[in-house]
Every structure is written in C-alpha cells, then in structure tokens.
Amino acid sequence: MGVYDYPPLLDGGEVTASWLAFWNPDGTWDVENRGVTPDIEVKLYPAAWPKGRDPQLEKAVEVALELLEKNLLPTHKGPEYPRYHAGQ
C-alpha cells in the first residue's frame, strides 16, 4: 500500500488515501477498500484528546504491561569472576 499525496485541511490536518494495494498468497487483494481489522478495538472519544488522553496509547501500554507480566524474561546467573592469582 502506498500513499503519495497529503492534501491539507482547513484545520491544519491532512488526509491520506492509498494509491496502491497488495495481494495476499490467497490471491485476493488485501486492505483495499476495507482497511485493516484491529487486533484490539479501542473506542475513540473526541473529548479525550484535548484533555491530554490518548485511549489507543493507553490501551497499548496496558496490553504491553500485561504481556510482560505473563511472559517474564528469563534471568541468568553470570559465572563467577575469574581468579587469576592463586590464593586470592
């Protein structure tokens, strides 16, 4: 998928529209005219943004922290420091 133009809006924002698409191994076009189905749906409320809140970011952090709790990284014990001099 590719986007080439970013027409400006009156409020300073921009609009994007893809010009390209891609097909999947099943032989059908992907994403074209339907978008990508999210893994996790998050309700977006316009009033949240002026209050400094980003519901999508907040949910992403929540999910990431849950995954970290469930999938703790392994801890490894390092080897003893080498003793190069006898008797020390």
Q: What does the angle CA 66 – CA 53 – CA 14 come to, to the nearest 5 degrees?
A: 115
Residue 1: its pLDDT value, please? 47
Closest CA to 33 of 44, 20, 15, 48: 20
pTM value surpassing 0.85: no
Tens-digit pLDDT profile for residues 45-88: 889 989 999 999 999 999 999 999 999 888 888 888 888 887 65
Residue 43: its pLDDT value, please? 93
Tens-digit pLDDT profile for residues 2-56: 566 778 888 988 887 767 777 778 888 776 666 677 899 999 988 998 999 999 9
Closest CA to 32 of 41, 23, 44: 23
Residue 88: its pLDDT value, please? 58
